[in-house]
């Protein structure tokens, strides 16, 4: 029996076939059971902010597990209060902000969806989200996710959500006083690292404010410093009504949060939402240590600088398969000139590089925020080799004219 047999028999089929089985990680490297080493530029989908087995992460889990793991939300704990204060500070909420803790991105967005309904009441039944944006796989967050093929097997959706294009004209046309909230994914990671048009976020803030609409920004993939600011909206100098975070905040520990600003912080009242595990001492201690280390080690700035370095390095690769690089900081999408992203991912794995393809024409790069020259140089060598492998295969498939 191989691990592939076990996985094929015992695990849910919704993920498709597992590409490898990893047994250990350290920094930006992973090892499989055969001892083969891989450079990890996926970092568990923008989750492992500090890389694998970072001493700060390990120490936080061990110490908190040996002190106090869980007491339920009938009680407060020091790590929970410390993380809430830290998130309010880096998100710039000021004193009026509040934090709701859940255990995943979807749970953070579910809380945001309920926040939108509390704000909307019966006067504002409409909720707007962007076509192609991804907000999660639960029934509520799927209703917010503008991808018909994902929704189709699970219809009917929770009503009230409408999808609009990511243009300022579409914002102007759609937003009125019947809208409760506008959800925005500031860089559409799952859709292929698509950026919003220039001025879009500022226009969204201005128009939502004018109509009393909550502006809710999904920072689940973009947050925790990944784009070179703590949160992507901060590049635009606006203040939202709420943001959702998860992935990189926990550095590998499952945790999510809804962070509210100003008046939106007063919408939930006792009994309107909850979670048994959410915000427990163990999870918040680990996330507190991860966020603290991102700050201490200057990793937000590192994401900005290494992101630019990585972008230039990729654009310097001599390959006809590279069409360009999208994204910001260490959330980059390499646009390919042919729909061969899956083949590039497979070839990369053969060469010892873990990357991923959110669609057929894009490679997504979301490495640990700790990467430096060594990882970037190694990435370029492995990625170049993978592209060569795919180019060679393409040449074989396309018979060239035989000279007479």
Ligand X SMILES: *Cc1c(COP(=O)(O)O)cnc(C)c1O
Q: Are strands 37-40 and 353-354 parallel, antiparallel or unpaired?
A: parallel
231 vs 88, 143, 264, 346, CA distance in Å?
A: 12, 24, 19, 32
**Which has the closest alpha carbon to 28: 63, 58, 54, 2?**
54
Cβ atoms of 134 and 109 within 8 Å: the answer is no
Can residue 135 be called a binding residue for ligand X (CB under 6 A)? yes
| Residue 106 counted as an annotated binding residue | yes
CB of 145 to ligand X, least distance (A): 8
Q: Which is nearer to ligand X, 243 or 386 (CB)?
A: 243
- Per-residue interface string for the shown chain with ligand X, residues 209-228, x marking contact by CB under 6 A: ---------x-xx-------
Helix 281-296 vs helix 299-315: crossing angle, to nearest 10: 70
| Residue 7 counted as an annotated binding residue | no
| Residue 375 counted as an annotated binding residue | no
Can residue 48 be called a binding residue for ligand X (CB under 6 A)? no
**Which has the closest alpha carbon to 121: 215, 212, 257, 244?**
212
DSSP string, 41-69: SSHHHHT-TT-BT-HHHHHHHHHHHTT--
Q: Which is nearer to ligand X, 188 or 306 (CB)?
A: 188
Q: Which is nearer to ligand X, 227 or 384 (CB)?
A: 227
CB of 135 to ligand X, least distance (A): 5
Other CB atoms within 10 Å distance of the CB of residue 300: 21
| Size, binding site for ligand X by CB under 6 A | 15
| Residue 218 counted as an annotated binding residue | yes
| Residue 105 counted as an annotated binding residue | yes
Q: Which is nearer to ligand X, 258 or 347 (CB)?
A: 258
CB of 161 to ligand X, least distance (A): 15
CB of 243 to ligand X, least distance (A): 11
Only segment of 98-106, 172-180, 283-291, 367-375 that touches ligand X (CB under 6 A)? 98-106
| Residue 206 counted as an annotated binding residue | no
What does the buried/exposed string (b/e) look like for 98-128 if buried means 16 or more CB atoms within 10 Å of the residue's CB? bbbbbbbbbbbbbbbbbbbbbbbeeebebbb
CA–CA distance, 156 with 142 (Å, rounded to integer): 11
Cβ atoms of 23 and 3 within 8 Å: the answer is no
Rule CB under 6 A: which of 186-205 touch ligand X? 189-190
Can residue 43 be called a binding residue for ligand X (CB under 6 A)? no
Can residue 311 be called a binding residue for ligand X (CB under 6 A)? no
Can residue 185 be called a binding residue for ligand X (CB under 6 A)? yes
Burial class (CB in 10 A: 0-12, 13-18, 19+), 286: buried
Only segment of 4-12, 130-138, 286-294, 349-357 that touches ligand X (CB under 6 A)? 130-138
Can residue 49 be called a binding residue for ligand X (CB under 6 A)? no
The stretches of 211-321 forming alpha helices (DSSP H) are 247-250, 281-296, 299-315
Question: Which residues sit in the known binding site for pyridoxal 5'-phosphate?
Answer: 105-106, 134, 218-221, 276
Q: Which residues contact ligand X (rule: CB under 6 A)?
A: 104-106, 109, 134-136, 185, 189-190, 218, 220-221, 246-247
């Amino acid at each position: 029996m191989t691990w592939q047999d076990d996985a094929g028999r015992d695990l849910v089929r919704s993920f498709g076939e597992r590409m490898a089985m990893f047994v250990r990680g350290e920094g930006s490297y992973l090892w499989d059971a055969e001892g083969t080493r891989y450079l990890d530029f996926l970092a568990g989908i923008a989750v492992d902010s500090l890389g694998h087995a970072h001493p700060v992460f390990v120490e936080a889990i061990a110490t908190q597990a040996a002190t106090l793991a869980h007491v339920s939300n009938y009680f407060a704990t020091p790590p929970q209060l410390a993380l809430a204060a830290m998130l309010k500070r880096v998100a710039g909420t000021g004193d009026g902000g509040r934090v709701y803790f859940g255990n995943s991105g979807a749970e953070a967005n579910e809380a945001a969806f309920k926040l939108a309904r509390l704000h909307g009441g019966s006067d504002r039944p409409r909720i707007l989200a962007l076509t192609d944006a991804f907000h999660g796989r639960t029934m509520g967050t799927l209703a917010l996710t503008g991808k018909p093929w994902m929704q189709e097997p699970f219809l009917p959706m929770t009503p009230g959500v409408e999808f609009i294009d990511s243009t300022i004209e579409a914002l102007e046309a759609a937003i009125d006083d019947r809208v409760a909230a506008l959800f925005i994914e500031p860089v559409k990671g799952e859709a292929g690292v698509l950026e919003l048009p220039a001025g879009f976020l500022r226009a969204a803030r201005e128009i939502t404010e004018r109509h009393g609409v909550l502006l809710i920004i999904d920072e689940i993939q973009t947050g925790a410093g990944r784009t070179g600011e703590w949160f992507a909206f901060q590049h635009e100098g606006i203040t939202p009504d709420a943001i959702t975070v998860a992935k990189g905040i926990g550095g590998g520990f499952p945790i999510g949060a809804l962070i509210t600003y100003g008046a939106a912080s007063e919408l939930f009242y006792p009994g309107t939402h909850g979670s048994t595990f959410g915000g427990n001492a163990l999870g918040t201690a680990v996330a507190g240590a991860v966020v603290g280390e991102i700050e201490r080690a200057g990793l937000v700035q590192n994401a900005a600088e290494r992101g630019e370095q990585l972008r230039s390095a990729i654009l310097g690769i001599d390959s006809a398969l590279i069409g360009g690089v999208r994204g910001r900081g260490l959330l980059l999408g390499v646009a390919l000139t042919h729909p061969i992203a899956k083949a590039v991912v497979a070839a990369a794995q053969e060469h010892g590089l873990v990357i991923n393809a959110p669609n057929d024409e894009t490679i997504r790069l979301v490495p640990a925020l700790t990467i430096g020259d060594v990882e970037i140089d190694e990435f370029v060598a492995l990625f170049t080799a993978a592209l060569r492998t795919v180019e060679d295969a393409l040449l074989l498939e396309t018979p060239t004219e035989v000279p007479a």
